[in-house]
Structure 1
Amino acid sequence: MKKIIIGSLATTLLVSGAIGIHAYAQEDDGKLESKQLTGITKTLISEKEAIAIAKKQVNGDVIKIELDEDDNRYEYELDIRTAKEDYDITIDATTGKVLEQKLDDDRYDGDDRKALTKSPSGKSLITKNEAIAIAKKQVNGDVIEIELDEDDNRYEYEMELRTKNGEADITIDATTGEVLELDLDDDDN
């Protein structure tokens, strides 16, 4: 009886070890990582491969790339900036297929400000450039994302800045210019 248990245990360990080595080898051969999806191990394309695929669609600078899981499917979401416009591109991280490409209308160039200049209370809103200047007084960095958002009947600029130590998120009241929230995410922690 002991021989059967020891034999079964040894077989289980051997199979488990082989699976672990297989997953490690996949990671080592240039792929981003190996993920377990509904019991099946799938190899994902690397960030570099996703960027190359996206740049075939839109020739510009990649300003953001994220790997997300959506309905048991891994996807790369990329933001690409050209001289005139920003684009959002979604790529299947397993197949490399472009799932979506759309023009991003959140760029902070000020052109879209004509549509909204007053708060619900009738007060004038500060411009995106004014909000950026306020943010840069608080944090030394480059704005990588800005959005005008309504929260509890108040308009706010929500910004993400890249600093030399990581990233910072800042929220500014779009009517008063007051800094409502500042969150520093440094890479050292």
Structure 2
Amino acid sequence: MRHVGSTITIATALGAALLLSGCAPTVTAIPPTASPTQPAPEATPDATPEAGDGDAAVGTTPRDVDLTKTEFATSWRDALATGAKSFDGEPVSVSLEWNRTAWAYTVKLLSADEVYLATVNADSGAVIGEWTKQRDGGGRAGTPSNVFPADGVIEPSAAIAAALAAAPGTFEEWELEEDNGVLAYEVQIDQGHDDVDVRIDAASGKVLEVDQ
């Protein structure tokens, strides 16, 4: 303790002597170093596209729409015409069902030796996917015999309405094809505990069969 006190006394005396002799040290204040200003990030506009922009697999018609009162922008005839642009064959069936994010048609065309399938967005008409494979029998398969006409056929909405009247429930899908010489819609109805298939004559709209 004594040693510290004498050191302080000596330092005080030296400081006083310097002041009296005019030799006081000059103290220069050093301002704090200014940190460089970081530029504010530029505001970028919200350019995130809406889900499905430009996506052929996304539709605009909701899944729970009443299809007894709905006609799509792209008809099943349009879907068949789209398939015919890519494949030289005859139409044998077309169907409609919910394809993950859109109502879509699947069209089936046959040539003498190949099968062609295309899935077409029912809202936009865009091709979601297409496949070609060899028919059973290869080049010996011959010309398809169950080709159906696109004229004189009732609209799908009428077929769905007739099927729901025969088997109330929720519409799942329909397929239009010729069976035993009769062109018919086969409409699948979900009744909760089970699915029911209802065949509707594609010309008259008459219920041909209810398969429960």
- Do both proteins adopt the same fold according to a TM-score greater than 0.5, normalized to the shorter chain? no
The structure whose residues are more often helix, as a share, is 1
Q: More relative contact order in 1 or in 2 (CA 8 Å, sep 6+)?
A: 2
User: Considering only CA atoms, is the larger Rg found in Structure 1 or Structure 2?
Assistant: 2
TM-score range, shorter chain: 0.3 to 0.5
The structure whose residues are more often strand, as a share, is 1
